Amino acid sequence: MHVLILGGTAEARRLAGLLSGLPGVRTTSSLAGRVAAPRMPPGEVRVGGFGGAEGMAVWLREQRVDALIDATHPFAGTISFHAARAAADTHVPLLALRRPGWVAGPGDDWHPVGSLEEAATALPALGNRIFLTTGRMGLAAFAGLTEQWFLVRSVDPPEAPCPPRMEVLLARGPFTPEGERELIARHRVDVLVTKDSGGEATAPKLAAARAAGVPVVVVRRPPVPAGVHVVTTPDEAAAWVRAAA
């Protein structure tokens, strides 16, 4: 049984590890190639795009894929819709693995928005020293904000266009609550911007913002394509594969 995992997340790597020990199961993890030095999962790995839904369908047929698991980042929306279309065209079973989103708790001052552009529009009314943790992609949405100062944290250096007043912090999670609190205090951050990625690796920034009384602009995640079955843990995804094998 050949399983293709659309990966790049910690959950995808964990799933690849779970499946690598199953007899009769071959796994291939597909990475987009947007990170210069990705953490490699167990099993076979391919790097790069497919050429849209049509290209993915061709790959599924040529490689005789029996099951497709979309374990990409919750905000990698385009690839998810390509996967849904390719799976439908090739009649390959499709499962989506999505970590649960974050939920605001007592003391949180969250401002949900639908896009990075909406986040940029909301910032002038909230503060002037912005901790931007949405990654290196999409910084163009904030490039027109000339009065605000940005601390931009990403794994790889961002590319223009970027905010004119910006400091870049290259770092990869997981992060600690103590480190996030120190970072917010040292840079006098008064607004945090994040995507609702979910998971524990980058969640400490939310607790640090709560403790510091800093408002958080949260970009809502895009929906999973209609009709796709969703699980929230690698163990559930592995059980789905075992049931189909």
Summarize pLDDT for 74-106 with one digit per residue, the tens. Answer: 998 799 999 999 999 999 999 999 999 999 999
Q: What is the pTM of this model?
A: 0.85
pLDDT at position 35, please?
67
Name the pLDDT band for 220 (thresholds 50, 70, 90): very high
One fold for 2-100+222-244 and 110-219? yes
Q: Which CATH number fits domain 110-219: 3.40.190, 3.40.50, 2.30.30, 1.10.1060?
A: 3.40.50
Rounded-to-integer distance, Cα 176 and Cα 201, Å: 8
Q: Is the pLDDT of residue 65 over 90?
A: yes
Average pLDDT, the chain: 94
Please state, in angstroms and rounded to a whole number, the distance separating the CA atoms of residues 2 and 80. 19
| Tens digits of residue pLDDT in 158-185 | 988 999 999 999 998 889 999 999 999 9
Residues 6+ apart with CB under 8 A from 86: 50, 53, 54, 56, 57, 60, 68, 92
Q: Where are the domains of the chain?
A: 2-100+222-244, 110-219
From residue 28, alpha-carbon distances to 3, 77, 136, 201, 240 in Å are 6, 21, 27, 25, 16
The architecture (CATH level 2) of 2-100+222-244 comes to 3-Layer(aba) Sandwich (3.40)
- Nearest to 222, CA basis, from 115, 84, 99, 136: 115
pLDDT band at 242 (very low <50, low <70, confident <90, very high): very high
